[in-house]
Structure 1
Amino acid sequence: MMSNLFSSFDPSSSILNIPLNWSSTILGLIFIPYSLWAMPSRWILMWTLVTNTLHKEFKILLGQKNSSGTILFVSLFSLIVFNNFLGLLPYVFTSTSHLAMTLSLALPLWLSFMVFGWINHTQHMFAHLVPLSTPGPLMPFMVLIEMVSNLIRPGTLAVRLAANMIAGHLLLTLLGNTGPSLSLSLLSILIFSQILLLLLESAVAIIQSYVFAVLSTLYASEVN
């Protein structure tokens, strides 16, 4: 029995005071060895097609000079999408619904981009603070606005992913808790609506992983 609506997102399962729910974050790694020794299946071929497509798209965003960095963002997409899909399974903790997880991904990436850009491309970073054709009196305000927009980037990345994952799970939980009190006819409608919501959550899991990876790639391309 849940003590409150958000208790399903609490990492409460533990053995010897060691939290076990966060272990779901590395469950996606068990699929990697299987793809190395098993015969190629349709799922492996489909995933290879997805990663190759992402590699080509990220290479365009980063440019040919920095195309070697695309493997980082493809791996980031893979990590997030595996965790998002694992969170749709019953009794599996959704780590990407916590800011502790999403900030741990977004903040180091943003800090590394900023440190690299300000050390190696200082003039380029200063030029980004003032857009082209900005009137002279508005330049101080534009610099302030651009600085604030840069500072909130890791927060927006983290909150966007966590909020979208929490919203869908809460809706599924709210509708599921009403099942025992419904009649048989209404229960069938509820089950059908839950299936549709689960399909929608599957699409959200992919889209939010893609958005996180693409925005990270765009932030990296701006410092070069």
Structure 2
Amino acid sequence: MMANLFSSFDPSTSLNLSLNWISLLSSIFLIPLTYWFLPTRTNLIWTKINSNLHQEIKILLGNYNYSNTPMFISLFFIIMINNFLGLFPYIFTSTSHMALNLSLALPLWISFMVYGWFNNTIHMLAHLIPQGTPPGLMPFMVCIETISNMIRPGTLAIRLTANMIAGHLLMTLLGNTGSLMPMFLLKFLILVQIMLLILEAAVAIIQAYVFAVLSALYSSEVN
């Protein structure tokens, strides 16, 4: 039994080792090899996902900025692989920490803002006032749009962190009660844990997709 429910997300409590963040580098070893002449099934699945993401992000970015899609596709795969790695026992879940998620969201948002305000200043100013806003509400809309724009990297990071922590915390709570349950309830607990694991696998893909798509949407607004 853990002394603190959130200790499983604390890098300093895992066997007192400083290798927790090494899971970030493990995604490099999971990339399918393109050495073989005939593609494997894994390579075909990887290529299919890549092409589908390219088509979706291309629509969001427009016909003139679709060359930026590899950046958002790479972001999707990095987050998805690290989300999946956190589902394995004794592997540190790096995407459950704000330090990593903010380090992904904040540089993207800053680069979008710098590019937009330096190259498309009038376009960025027009975004502060939605079309059809009454003249009396324009000062308030400028404040609201400015605040909503500034909290975007925080919402991206918090959304990913909260979803990763919530599922893992629920599985930890149920797992700790297994030793106290009678045998006839233990089978039901195992079934619930398997269903939660499937749900967490879906959440790992969805949250990576949401992070990449929202980043692409924020990029499309500065052009």
Q: What's the TM-score once normalised by structure 1's chain length?
A: 0.95
Matched with 1:117 is 116
- Inter-partner Cα distance in structure 2 for 1:208 and 1:70: 18
SS at match of 1:37: coil
**Is the CA contact (8 Å cut-off) linking 1:13 and 1:20 kept in structure 2?**
no
Matched with 1:145 is 144
Q: CA RMSD in A?
A: 1.5
- Inter-partner Cα distance in structure 2 for 1:18 and 1:188: 34
The Cα offsets for residues 42-69 of structure 1, whole Å up to 9 and x where unpaired, read as 2221121011100111111101111110
- Inter-partner Cα distance in structure 2 for 1:41 and 1:195: 29
| AA partner of residue 35 (structure 2) | W
Matched with 2:169 is 170
Give the length in aligned residue pairs.
Answer: 222
Matched with 1:8 is 8
| AA partner of residue 151 (structure 1) | M
| AA partner of residue 4 (structure 1) | N
Matched with 1:37 is 35
**Is the CA contact (8 Å cut-off) linking 2:8 and 2:14 kept in structure 1?**
no
After superposition, where does 1:76-91 map in structure 2 within 5 Å? 76-91=75-90
Q: Which runs of 4+ in 1 moved over 6 A?
A: none
The Cα offsets for residues 110-159 of structure 1, whole Å up to 9 and x where unpaired, read as 00000000000000000000011111110000000000000000000000
The percentage of aligned residue pairs carrying the same residue is 64
| AA partner of residue 64 (structure 1) | N
Q: What is the CA distance between 1:3 and its match in structure 2? A: 2.5
Matched with 1:135 is 134
Q: Cα 1:28–1:13, aligned 2, differ >3 Å: closer, same or farther?
A: farther
Flag structure 2 segments of 5+ consecutive residues without an equivalent. none
Q: What is the CA distance between 1:41 and its match in structure 2? A: 2.3
**Is the CA contact (8 Å cut-off) linking 1:59 and 1:67 kept in structure 2?**
yes
- Inter-partner Cα distance in structure 2 for 1:117 and 1:173: 44
Flag structure 1 segments of 5+ consecutive residues without an equivalent. none
**Is the CA contact (8 Å cut-off) linking 1:13 and 1:21 kept in structure 2?**
no
- Inter-partner Cα distance in structure 1 for 2:17 and 2:65: 41
SS at match of 1:54: helix
Q: What is the CA distance between 1:18 and its match in structure 2? A: 7.0
- Inter-partner Cα distance in structure 2 for 1:178 and 1:111: 45
Q: What is the CA distance between 1:184 and its match in structure 2? A: 1.3
